[in-house]
């Protein structure tokens, strides 16, 4: 089974996305202390677009993007697959609209820094309405967010970022608020931002100066923002989460799962009579029996964290591992597989 973010594994602490030490045991794995994580970002739940290039062959064009400019290269090493721009060019995800509230997450690697840049550009009726630049210099990284074709700058900030390893970049648009993160650190938080309907998305890579520069993308995801747990479980009796993530092939929770787990814990604390069945689900990649066992252990790990760290009564939870037996999307594409990798909470 592959998880949502392949390759480099992130951990989030109060200071950012660095290593988090295991503090509680569950399902055979040491779990990070999720109560101590400052969770500023909540990943979107409903995937609108996802690609990790796992079904792309070298020499092919990326099927879920329109490419304009020099062709990017697919670079493969071990479990890592990276779509790499070595010259200035654009990728247009096959997206015809974005909802009012959405998240953008990408795993990016800059190589041989000089003045390489990446930008997310959002359009409405062919007009640029928001652009997020990341200028990755060898000493300082400059972050700029602007709207209305650069006529209104929301934020500009210079920060020191280690680009020697892949970074998680995030843009979160929610109820007129625009937030930007790199490796879990929030660098932009602008409010009262009114954006018109978005009907085109561009990911621009700019390569200028220096030898062997490149901007690589290991995963790209757009999703509709997360609904409130308490409202959804009360209305439908089922809450589906794609924001609870695990180390590859393991039942150890990733620290960036903290925001979702904390939200669920708050909902349970506010409704002491609520009991839940926790279901683990996988995609169909790999051995079916192993996926079934892995999904069971992951469901048990979520229960164990809610009980041991958030002090909820164990009698309120039952668990089930369903492996790949109940897909909600096709397992033939990276986006479909990302949808099928999930944890579900069912009201009992």
Asked if residue 7 has pLDDT above 60, the reply is no
Asked if residue 2 has pLDDT above 70, the reply is no
Q: Indicate if 82 and 220 belong to the same structural domain.
A: yes
Q: Indicate if 212 and 243 belong to the same structural domain.
A: no
Structural domains of the chain, count: 2
Asked if residue 281 has pLDDT above 60, the reply is yes
Average pLDDT over residues 70-92: 92
Q: Angle formed by the axes of helices 258-270 and 229-236, to 10°?
A: 60
Q: Indicate if 208 and 89 belong to the same structural domain.
A: yes
Q: Distances from the Cα of 260 to the Cαs of 89, 176, 225, in angstroms?
A: 36, 21, 12
Last residue of a domain, one of 174, 197, 224: 224
Residue 127 in domain: yes
Beta bridge partners of 109: 216
CATH number at residue 167: 2.60.120.560
Q: Are 93 and 64 in contact (CB under 8 A)?
A: yes
Last residue of a domain, one of 195, 224, 253: 224
Residue 181 in domain: yes
Q: Indicate if 83 and 194 belong to the same structural domain.
A: yes
Residue 272 in domain: yes
- What's residue 213's pLDDT? 86
- What's residue 210's pLDDT? 67
Q: Which of these ranges, 3-17, 176-190, 316-330, has the smallest mean pLDDT? A: 3-17
How many other β-carbons are positioned within 10 Å of the β-carbon of residue 241?
A: 21
| 40 alpha carbon, distance to own chain's centre | 13
pLDDT in tens, 96-155: 999 999 999 999 999 887 778 999 999 999 999 999 999 998 888 999 999 988 889 999
Q: Are 48 and 104 in contact (CB under 8 A)?
A: no
Domain region containing 238: 22-42+227-347
- What's residue 211's pLDDT? 73
- The helix or strand, by DSSP H or E, that contains position 47, with its residue range, turns out to be strand 46-51
Residue 280 in domain: yes
Q: Indicate if 160 and 58 belong to the same structural domain.
A: yes
Asked if residue 321 has pLDDT above 50, the reply is yes
Residue 54 in domain: yes
Q: Indicate if 208 and 292 belong to the same structural domain.
A: no
| Mean pLDDT of all residues belonging to the chain | 88
Asked if residue 21 has pLDDT above 60, the reply is no
Residue whose tokens read 């062997």: 212
- From the CA atom positions of the chain, what is the Rg in Å? 20
- What's residue 26's pLDDT? 42
Asked if residue 14 has pLDDT above 90, the reply is no
Q: Indicate if 218 and 269 belong to the same structural domain.
A: no
Q: Indicate if 146 and 280 belong to the same structural domain.
A: no
Residue 16 in domain: no
- What's residue 58's pLDDT? 87
Spatial distance between the Cα atoms of 339 and 321, rounded to a whole number of angstroms: 16
112: alpha, beta or left? (left if phi > 0; alpha if psi -120 to 50): left
Spatial distance between the Cα atoms of 180 and 143, rounded to a whole number of angstroms: 9
Asked if residue 17 has pLDDT above 80, the reply is no
- What's residue 5's pLDDT? 30
Q: Indicate if 177 and 269 belong to the same structural domain.
A: no
What's the token pair of residue 173? Answer: 């648009």
- What's residue 6's pLDDT? 30
CATH number at residue 337: 3.30.1330.60
How many other β-carbons are positioned within 10 Å of the β-carbon of residue 228?
A: 13
What's the token pair of residue 303? Answer: 């229960």
Q: Indicate if 61 and 102 belong to the same structural domain.
A: yes
- What's residue 22's pLDDT? 40
- What's residue 142's pLDDT? 94
CB-side exposure of 101: number of CA atoms within 13 Å?
A: 12
Average pLDDT over residues 237-257: 92
Residue 3 in domain: no
Spatial distance between the Cα atoms of 196 and 52, rounded to a whole number of angstroms: 29
Residue 183 in domain: yes
Q: Angle formed by the axes of helices 288-308 and 258-270, to 10°?
A: 60
Spatial distance between the Cα atoms of 156 and 152, rounded to a whole number of angstroms: 11
Q: Indicate if 95 and 220 belong to the same structural domain.
A: yes
Q: Indicate if 255 and 299 belong to the same structural domain.
A: yes
Q: Which of the four pLDDT bands, split at 50, 70 and 90, describes residue 29?
A: low
Percentage of the chain lying above the pLDDT 70 cut: 91
Q: Are 26 and 300 in contact (CB under 8 A)?
A: yes
């Amino acid at each position: 089974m592959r998880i949502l973010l392949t390759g480099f594994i992130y951990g989030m602490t109060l200071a950012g996305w660095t290593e988090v030490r295991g503090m509680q045991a569950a399902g055979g794995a040491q779990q990070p202390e999720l109560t101590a994580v400052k969770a500023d970002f909540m990943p979107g739940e409903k995937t609108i677009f996802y690609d990790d290039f796992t079904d792309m062959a070298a020499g092919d064009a990326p099927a879920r993007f329109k490419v304009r400019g020099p062709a990017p290269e697919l670079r493969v090493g071990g479990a890592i697959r990276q779509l790499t721009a070595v010259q200035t060019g654009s990728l247009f995800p096959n997206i015809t609209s974005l909802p009012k509230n959405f998240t953008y997450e990408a795993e990016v690697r800059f190589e041989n820094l000089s003045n390489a840049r990446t930008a997310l550009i959002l359009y409405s009726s062919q007009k640029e309405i928001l652009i997020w630049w990341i200028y990755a210099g060898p000493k300082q990284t400059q972050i700029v967010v602007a709207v209305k074709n650069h006529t209104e700058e929301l934020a500009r900030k210079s920060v020191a970022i280690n680009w020697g390893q892949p970074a998680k970049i995030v843009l979160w648009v929610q109820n007129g608020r625009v937030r930007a993160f790199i490796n879990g650190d929030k660098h932009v938080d602008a409010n009262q931002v009114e954006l018109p309907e978005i009907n085109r998305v561009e990911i621009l890579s700019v390569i200028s100066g220096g030898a062997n520069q490149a901007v690589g993308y290991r995963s790209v995801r757009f999703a509709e923002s997360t609904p409130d747990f308490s409202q959804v479980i009360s209305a439908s009796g089922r809450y589906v989460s794609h924001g609870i993530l695990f180390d590859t092939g393991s039942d150890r929770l990733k620290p960036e799962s903290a925001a979702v787990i904390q939200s669920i814990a708050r909902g349970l604390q506010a409704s002491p009579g609520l009991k839940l069945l926790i279901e683990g689900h996988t995609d169909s990649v790999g051995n079916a029996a192993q996926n079934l066992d892995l999904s069971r252990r992951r469901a048990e790990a979520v229960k164990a964290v809610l009980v041991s760290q958030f002090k909820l009564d164990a009698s309120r939870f039952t668990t089930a591992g369903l492996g790949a037996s109940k897909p909600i999307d096709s397992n033939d594409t990276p986006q479909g597989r990302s949808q099928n990798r999930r944890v579900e909470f069912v009201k009992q």
